[in-house]
Amino acid sequence: MCGICGVFEFGKSGRVVEEDTLIRMRDTMTHRGPDDAGVYLSADRRVGLGHRRLSIVDLSPAGRQPMSNEDGTIWITFNGEIYNHAALRRDLEAKGHIYRSRTDTETLVHLYEEEGAGFVSLLEGMFALAIWDGRRQELLLVRDRIGVKPLYYTVLPGTILFASEIKAILEHPRMSRRIDLAAFYHYLTFIAAPSPRTLFQGVHKLPPSTIVTIDRRGAMRSGTFWDPMAAPAEEGALYDDAEFCAARVRDLLARAIEKRMMADVPFGVFLSGGLDSSANVALMARIMDRPVRTFSVGFKDHPAHNEFLYARKVATLFKTDHHEVEIGWRDLLDFMPELVFHQDEPIADWVCVPLHYVARLAKRSGTIVVQVGEGSDEQFFGYDHYLRMYRNQARFVRPLMKLPRALRLLTYHSARGLAFLLRRGGERLDLLRSVARDETFFWGGAIAWREEEKKRLLSGGVLRRLDGLSSHDVVLEFDRKARSRISDNDFGKRMIYLELKNRLAELLLMRVDKITMASSIEARVPFLDHALVEFTMRVPTELKIRSGQSKFLLKKAMAGILPDEIVHRPKRGFGAPVSEWLRGDLYAPAFAGVMKSRLREENLLDYGHVERLFRAHRAGARDHSWHLWTLYNLSGWYDHWIAREAA
């Protein structure tokens, strides 16, 4: 796992890559690669690649990047892991390619020589990479299928900049810092900016499974190389048979976990005691000849949020080398400056806080690689609100859609007026709004500010500047793609497709990457192995929630491997008692952080409304913690990255 960056000067201005600038860009990401560093400058200095290395496979200097082919015509800077690199290497060596290391990076170089840009379809793993092809005079940028690893880029007149983190791009002297209004608007809803936008105007992120080519004239071509619904069905697969599917899920997950044990450094598992992390431990323990290292986090003074009891039971059952850390509100406050720095742009999920402390715990134990459970709840319908939305589609949306649109609009506006009088709104009103306006009503598993709420939050000036922009536009784009790819009209599959494309890639996986890399450790996500995703996306939703039981299929797969009390535990999301903290000791610093932020100078928010939300939350009238956390993150981000630079 590493940090990558680069500059491509394709214009006619005569500009060349300054090595000092490239090194400054690279070294903003020392945390991503504390073990080694390198740069490459082309002979004409029109191209520069930078790399920070976290040594995982082949710890010797032979693994240094940027790395080239035998004659120096192809250069790569690469972040990630390729789990099938050894098998690919055997074929490449048989074709005459000469290796100088044991790294997966070198396999990528030779595979590109053989296959061109199509080489990415042969890879199993997580990756963000850049390849400079000196023969074609082309730069290639790629982000992996699911989006486990991030990659950002900026197009300036005559110049392309790219990096694993935005802070590296901002180090370039031609970069300016301004807020992107559309990204800001969507962030309020999705608690992260949907790709390709970021909160920084002009800085973009590659969507998952995207490949971009830039030629010597600066012409850009982009396309996708994978879609979870485009893979052919497995021959002989019985997708509607519970016994077959459970066995297949168990086999695919076990293989995914074993592949992700590829490392020349110590590895372990983040363990909550829930089904997903416990499955990681159980299947890893079957393979290992030494105790699995496990790591858990809990909360001081809030035992209801702790999962130590179940984590300890799993650790005892599988005889793991178990480690724990406990945190409180002061730890959150102390971490906030680092959080703002490492996020680059706000990711308003307070899971980042416990994730940081458990990642730091792993690093201090000498563990460099960890496996995590992201992606399981999305594939196997693990959240209560998924079930609620799925049932609402059948019970309410389909029947209501048969009514004339005028009647649907009348019903919505009547309900909206009643909600205003009662000061109530939320999910049901949003459902009616969507039905009345022929909109998709499932927007994702983490929605903060709804459209009507944003109208009350935002200033009149910014609403006029946004000119009717709706976050439904983001959802609709993904839903249209899902409809075109899903032939059986399974609404649950459409829900998960949206989650894969937006929330998982740009929120959950971004937080895992940024927060674990802040502690210089690598997180791997076996539940998001693309073969497992391809299989589960073909399984009917009704098989995943049989008899109203969430995650039925995964529970069946793990029965007999994990004890029943773990398999059938009620779902508890990995979180933190931020709602409680915001009513107590965290209230004053969070209130000051928002109300005194220089973000006010942008005239984006109605701060009278913001103050009322803070006071209502403290009084316990309603839980506004999700809303307040988005604003606290946003304000901290603005003050660090934009206001401080302008000062």
Amino acid 82: pLDDT: 97
Distance of CA 629 to the CA centre of its chain: 18
Which of 10, 5, 6 has the alpha carbon at shortest distance from 215? 10
H/E segment holding residue 222:
strand 220-224
| Pairwise pLDDT comparison (322 vs 424), residue with the higher score | 322
pLDDT value for 1: 65
Mean pLDDT over 69-91 rounds to 96
Mean pLDDT of all residues in the chain?
A: 93
User: In one letter, which amino acid is 625?
Assistant: S
Range 606-632 average pLDDT:
96
Minimum mean pLDDT among 25-39, 247-261, 277-291, 293-307: which range?
A: 293-307
pLDDT recorded at residue 422? 41
**Domains located in the chain, CATH noted:** 2-180+189-224 (3.60.20.10), 242-381+496-567 (3.40.50.620), 384-493 (no CATH), 578-646 (no CATH)
Residue 366: Cβ-neighbour burial (10 angstroms; 0-12, 13-18, 19+): exposed
Q: Say if residue 465's pLDDT is above 60.
A: yes
For residue 547, pLDDT beyond 60: yes
Q: Which residues, listed in sequence order, are joined to residue 138 by a DSSP beta bridge? A: 133
Which of 7-21, 259-273, 437-451, 462-476 is predicted with the least confidence, judged by mean pLDDT?
437-451
Pick from 218-222, 409-413, 446-450, 578-582: least confident = 409-413
Task: Give the pLDDT score at 458.
Answer: 98
Mean pLDDT in residue range 424-444: 73
Q: Label residue 573 by pLDDT band (50, 70, 90).
A: low
pLDDT, average across residues 635-645: 93
**For residues 312 and 295, what is the distance between their CA atoms, to the nearest angstrom?**
10
Span 544-563, average pLDDT? 93
Nearest to residue 278, comparing CAs of 376, 369, 206? 376
Q: Is 2 annotated as catalytic?
A: yes
Contact partners, residue 212, CB within 8 Å, separation at least 6:
140, 141, 142, 153, 206, 220, 221, 222
Give yes or no for a cis peptide into 540 (omega within 30° of 0).
Answer: no
User: Quick one: CA torsion of 344, 370, 150, 175, rounded to 10 degrees?
Assistant: 30
pLDDT on residue 463: 96
What is the model's pLDDT at position 421?
A: 40
3-state SS, 614-625, equals: HHHHHHCCCCCH
Q: What is the pLDDT of residue 425?
A: 53
In this model, does residue 405 exceed pLDDT 80?
Answer: no
What pLDDT shows up at residue 433?
73
CA separation for the pair 362, 354 (Å, rounded):
12
Higher pLDDT, 410 or 482: 482
If you average pLDDT over residues 268-296, what whole number do you get? 96
Q: Is 311:272 a contact under the CB 8 Å cutoff?
A: yes
What percent of the chain is modeled with pLDDT above 90?
83
Query: What's the CA gap between 278 and 529, in Å, rounded?
Result: 17
Q: Report which of residues 647 and 484 the model is more confident about.
A: 484
Q: How far apart are CA 270 and CA 358, in angstroms?
A: 8
Q: What average pLDDT does the segment 378-397 reach?
A: 87
Mean pLDDT, rounded, for 557-577? 87
The model carries a pTM of: 0.94
What pLDDT was estimated at residue 510?
A: 97
491 falls in which pLDDT band (50, 70, 90)?
very high
Tens of pLDDT, residue by residue over 159-212, are 999 999 999 999 999 999 999 999 999 999 999 999 999 999 999 999 999 999
